[in-house]
Amino acid sequence: MSELQTYQGAATMEKITSLAKRRGFVFQSSEIYGGQNGAWDYGPLGVELKNRIAQNWWKEMTQLHDEIVGLDAAILMHPRTWEASGHVENFTDPLVDCKKCKARFRADQIPPECVSAKKCPECGGDLTDVRKFNLMFKTHIGPVESNDDDNVIYLRPETAQGIYVNYKNIIQSNRMKLPFGIAQIGKAFRNEIVTKNFIFRTCEFEQMEMQYFVKPGTDVEWFNEWKKRRWAYYEKLGVKMDHLRWHQHGADELAHYAKDAYDIEYLFPMGWKELEGVHNRSQYDLTRHTDYSGKDLRYIDQDDGNKKYIPFIIETSAGLTRTLLMTLCDAYDEEKIADKGAEDDCRAVLRFHPTIAPITVAVLPLQKKDGLADLAQDIRAELREDFATDYDQGGAIGRRYRRQDEAGTPFCVTIDYETKENGSVTLRFRDSMEQIRLPRGELASRLFQEIKAYKRTK
Ligand code: ATP
């Protein structure tokens, strides 16, 4: 059975792309000019979802670990950084073009027999020789009259290097002792040869990276520990765990500096694809930055007779925008429902974990009239300090629930005539569609409790 046939979810890329646009999660960049390839804009629901995924990861890495601190380094770095890191020389993809249909491919992403026979996998035409293509975006800094090579600067292709060049600063300013980590979320840019599958592979994207510095000899243990922790993170986020698997880099994939590397792959509608990398980067990065900067980046181990050594680095590197695509695919569900008497009514629902849902609670008055709208606004005002809220008073209540289901809102609060009489409200749960009544004054504490106890069941 092919990998695609084992896909269990209701999501297809067409459905996800169209829902993302229709509901304002993601728009094509510069759409009115025909769109910009490899770039996407995050709309009102998308930016909330992205921020929440980022906050959730940040909390997991920094708030929950004493020994991990944060950093926000600049996108523009000294060009020597990229010589030291090996990107100028090695950050290349093998590129081939079809002479007949003009399609462009990464030679490592098409069947090897096509490359050896030099035949296009799409039209059978002749392929060009494989050539190396550097993925870094190159630009110039300062006033440049001609194409002055002296003023070349790159947009960073990964956030990790900003961490390595600040490693010594952070040890000194924060008195860090091994093992310790530095976490960073930020934009990265790669001139990708093929950008397809919506926001999966783009030229401008965001990464969530954490570099963990450890004593040589303890790296294998820490590598295994971080594999465990990253797996547990997705479990906590309520991701379908049978849609995740480990892929160990074989000898042909392993970067020359890496001692060991595993990817966490997710079963996207288009197949198993990398979501995050967990890598044992050995002493490579700090050794190279020592050589290229001339600065001594050895750690002085006060707990071990002031021995000096270059730490090993364990890296966890996830794409933020790719994780957003994963959560859309993972959360997407279609369900036949029979409430309100409509037998074959079907709803599309995003079953986001409440901690990342763009809207946590929507407040809906049953009717606009008779003071219900004012009452609902009043209740919303009470909730909005603590929760991301939405308010919707237009149309049939069933249709309003569907709209919130499709936006992934885990809770709806409905205000009706009984609310006016006795102050009770209806709390409706997205996943089960169950409804309970409770006093208005208990709403906030109940929501906190529900968010904390949330377990995905469907
Ligand atoms: P690939 O081989 O698929 O090009 P990679 O193995 O070079 O990717 P890494 O350098 O390990 O990727 O990047 C770490 C993470 O950053 C990836 O797991 C992915 O989630 C994210 N990422 C990398 N490139 C892109 C991109 N072009 N668009 C979106 N996310 C990306």
Ligand 1 centroid to Cα of residue 202, in Å, is 9
Mean pLDDT of the chain: 94
Give residue 157 CA to ligand 1 midpoint distance, Å.
Answer: 10
Tokens 């997407």 found at? 332
Tokens of 265: 């792959």
Give residue 270's pLDDT: 94
**Res 336: pLDDT:** 83
CA 273 to ligand 1: nearest atom: 3
Max CA separation in the chain (angstroms): 79
The pLDDT of residue 148 is 66
Higher confidence at residue 146 or residue 128? 128
Phi, psi (degrees; rounded to nearest 5) at 249: -65, 130
Q: How far apart are CA 149 and CA 144, in angstroms?
A: 10
For residue 21, pLDDT beyond 70: yes
Place of tokens 């026979």: 117
Whether the pLDDT of residue 4 is over 60: the answer is: no
Q: Please determine, for residue 59, whether its predicted confidence score (pLDDT) is greater than 60.
A: yes
Ligand 1: residue whose CA is nearest its atom 1: 274
Average pLDDT over residues 211-240: 98
Per-residue pLDDT for 5 more than 70?
Answer: no
pLDDT above 60: residue 201: yes
Between the CA of 208 and the centroid of ligand 1 the distance, in Å, is: 11
Question: Which two structure tokens, joined as six digits, stand for 177?
Answer: 């002792």
153 near 139, Cβ under 8 Å?
Answer: yes
Q: Is 322 in the pocket of ligand 1 (CB under 6 A)?
A: yes
pTM given for the model: 0.94
pLDDT over 90 (residue 216): yes
* Nearest one of 159, 155, 162 to 39, comparing CA atoms: 155
Find the helix or strand (DSSP H, E) in which 348 lies.
Answer: strand 345-350
For the Cβ of 351 lying below 6 angstroms from any atom of ligand 1, the answer is no
Q: What's the pLDDT at 346?
A: 85
**Cα of 456 from ligand 1 centre, angstroms:** 28
Give the confidence band of 338 by pLDDT, cuts at 50, 70, 90.
low
Q: Which of 201, 204, 208, 321 maximizes ligand 1 atoms within 8 Å of its Cβ, making it the mutation to test the pocket?
A: 201
Start and end residues for every CATH 3.30.930.10 domain found in the chain: 13-77+156-327
CA 320–ligand 1 middle distance (angstroms)? 10
Rounded CA gap, 195 and 311, in Å? 36
**368 Cα: distance to centroid of ligand 1 (angstroms):** 49
Mutate to test the pocket of ligand 1, among 184, 322, 329 (most ligand atoms within 8 A of CB): 322
Sign of CA dihedral 10, 16, 19, 25: positive
413's enclosing H/E stretch is strand 411-415
Pick the CATH number of 13-77+156-327 from 1.10.10.10, 3.40.50.1000, 3.30.930.10, 3.90.550.10: 3.30.930.10
What residue has token string 């930055």? 289
Tell me, using a 6 A CB cutoff, whether residue 87 lines ligand 1.
no
What is the pLDDT averaged over residues 330-343? 76
pLDDT for residue 423: 96
Strand-pair category, 204-214 with 312-319? antiparallel
**Separation of 319 CA from ligand 1 center, angstroms?**
7
CATH 3.40.50.800 location in the chain:
344-453
State whether the beta carbon of 192 lies less than 6 angstroms from ligand 1.
Answer: yes
What are the residues whose beta carbons fall under 8 Å from the beta carbon of 360, sequence distance 6 or more?
354, 387, 388, 389, 409, 410, 411, 447, 451
Q: Which CATH number fits domain 344-453: 3.40.50.2000, 1.10.3720.10, 3.40.30.10, 3.40.50.800?
A: 3.40.50.800
Closest to 71 measured CA to CA, from 61, 79, 80, 81 = 61
Angstrom distance (rounded) from CA 412 to CA 429: 7
209 lines ligand 1 (CB under 6 A): no
Per-residue pLDDT for 158 more than 60?
A: yes
Instruction: Assess whether the C-beta atom of 202 lies below 6 angstroms from ligand 1.
Output: yes
The answer to whether the CB of 276 is under 6 A from ligand 1 is yes
pLDDT tens digits for range 237-286: 999 999 999 999 999 889 888 999 999 999 999 999 999 999 999 999 99
Residue 339 has pLDDT above 70, yes or no: no
Please report the atom of ligand 1 found closest to the CA of residue 200. 29
* CA dihedral for 256, 210, 350, 330, sign (positive or negative): positive
Q: Measured from the CB, is residue 274 less than 6 Å from ligand 1?
A: yes
Q: Is 159's C-beta closer than 6 angstroms to any atom of ligand 1?
A: no
Is pLDDT above 80 for 450? yes
Say yes or no: CB of residue 317 within 6 Å of ligand 1.
Answer: yes
pLDDT tens-place string over residues 276-318: 999 999 999 999 999 999 999 999 999 999 999 999 999 999 9
Q: Which residues contact 91 (CB under 8 A, 6 or more apart)?
A: 82, 134, 135, 136, 157
Q: Ligand 1 pocket: which of 207, 265, 281 to mutate (most atoms <8 Å of CB)?
A: 207
Is residue 194 pLDDT above 90, yes or no?
Answer: no
How many angstroms separate the CA atoms of 344 and 182, rounded?
52
Q: Are 414 and 364 in contact (CB under 8 A)?
A: yes
- Assess whether pLDDT exceeds 60 at residue 6: no
